[in-house]
Amino acid sequence: MFLAAAALFQTAAQALPPTRLETLQLTTLAQAYGPEKFGLSFELYPPKTERGMTALFRHLDRLVEFQPSYVTCTYGADGSTRDRTLDVVSGVRQKYAVPVATHLTCVGRSAAQLKEYLERAKSLDIQNVVALRGDPPQGEAEFRTVEGGFSHANELVQFIRREFADLGIAVAGYPETHQAAPSPDVDLENLKRKVDAGADVVITQLFYNNQDFFDFSRRCRQAGIRVPIVPGLLPVTNLAQIQRIASLCGAKLPAQFQADLQKYADDDQGQFEVGVEFSIRQTAELVEAGVAGIHYFVLNKSEAARRVLQANLSSPSLSPAMDC
Ligand SMILES: Cc1cc2nc3c(=O)[nH]c(=O)nc-3n(C[C@H](O)[C@H](O)[C@H](O)COP(=O)(O)OP(=O)(O)OC[C@H]3O[C@@H](n4cnc5c(N)ncnc54)[C@H](O)[C@@H]3O)c2cc1C
């Protein structure tokens, strides 16, 4: 039952042995979504140590059983993780023959330096980029544009489209509005700039109230954004951690959910169970609404995502994508 349902998560790389990498059809993010397809993706971050890297691949061994459409890896705000980001995505590409995307920010880099990074990425068979402006470095309140660099993600998207026409591009969207945006409408106009510049897909910031996502999707469509809008979900496994992450990115945690987690303040396993149950329901509702796919921020672990996916794969509500 599990494997049969998993077939709904289609990837171009499925069934190809990793050793045949050179013969793989390059797959871009855009191809992950569409009729009869469900774009499942996982987001990783670059571990700091060799031990962390080994553990990450142990978890990935379990996650790739779900046949993700692609896997991405974040890029440290100041670019300090550049090499490790590439190590992770090229390692995933080589080991599992799964399409991959490197995240990339404009922070502290000129266009020439960004181009050099993307050339390296391409030489490592990385076909996709999650193109971001990035946050100001720690200790700085405002984003500073470096000489010869970019001020906003739409400029980076335009640059990538011009210099690397065949790369797939995802951009960030904010169901609860970006923290620095003057208004939801202005933020939406800015998202449209990124899509008009050539982005294939919008992946959203994490959120815990699906209605925020549904409203955001509807507003995107009304604004003429036609590319897939993919919800980004972080299954909560720990109350303190999610409070920290949510306050950093401005995501609201529903009061009842917080209260349910709080009941297990001294019980890590209890918090994990509450978080996983919430994510199972959140996923089910999104799938039922016909989202094009889901992007899971897995924080380099597999247990929570596995539980969430297994629960939903065995649910009759899992259906091919509609236009959400
Ligand atoms: C899925 C996802 C993945 C992420 N991965 C990373 C990562 O790997 N590394 C990392 O450091 N950060 C990452 N982030 C965080 C991201 O860098 C921050 O949210 C950052 O503050 C904004 O980046 P952006 O690409 O959305 O910027 P932009 O789209 O440039 O938007 C930033 C702000 O400027 C406004 N704006 C945009 N364009 C214009 C314009 N042309 N003129 C005027 N105003 C404009 C927007 O409304 C917004 O308020 C990620 C976020 C998401 C949702």
- Lowest pLDDT segment from 10-14, 103-107, 229-233, 262-266: 10-14
Parallel/antiparallel/unpaired status of strands 168-173 and 39-44: unpaired
Distance between CA 211 and CA 43 in Å, rounded?
23
Tally of domains in the chain: 1
Distance between CA 123 and CA 127 in Å, rounded?
10
Q: What local confidence, expressed as pLDDT, does residue 174 receive?
A: 98
Residues across the chain: 324
Q: What local confidence, expressed as pLDDT, does residue 273 receive?
A: 97
For the domain that residue 142 is a member of, what is the CATH number?
A: 3.20.20.220
Q: Residue 179 CA: which ligand 1 atom is closest?
A: 49
Q: Residue 180 CA: which ligand 1 atom is closest?
A: 49
Q: Comparing C-alpha atoms, which of 188, 169, 118, 110 is closest to residue 144?
A: 110
- Whether the model pTM is above 0.75: yes
Q: What local confidence, expressed as pLDDT, does residue 22 receive?
A: 40
Q: What local confidence, expressed as pLDDT, does residue 25 receive?
A: 53
Q: What local confidence, expressed as pLDDT, does residue 72 receive?
A: 98
Distance between CA 292 and CA 69 in Å, rounded?
12
8: pLDDT strictly greater than 60: no
Average pLDDT of the chain?
Answer: 89
Distance between CA 107 and CA 38 in Å, rounded?
32
Positions annotated as catalytic residues are 43
- Does ligand 1 lie within 6 Å of residue 237's CB atom? no
Contacts of 187 (CB under 8 A, 6+ apart): 174, 177, 178, 181
212 C-alpha to ligand 1 centroid (Å) = 18
Q: pLDDT per residue over 118-167, tens digit each?
A: 999 999 999 999 999 999 888 888 899 999 999 999 999 999 999 999 99
Contacts of 292 (CB under 8 A, 6+ apart): 33, 34, 38, 39, 228, 229, 230, 321, 324
- Does ligand 1 lie within 6 Å of residue 187's CB atom? yes
Q: pLDDT per residue over 73-125, tens digit each?
A: 999 876 678 899 999 999 999 999 999 999 999 999 999 999 999 999 999 99
Expressed as residue numbers, the domain containing 281 is 2-323
259 C-alpha to ligand 1 centroid (Å) = 31
Residue 16 and residue 95 in contact, taking contact as beta carbons nearer than 8 Å: no
192: pLDDT strictly greater than 60: yes
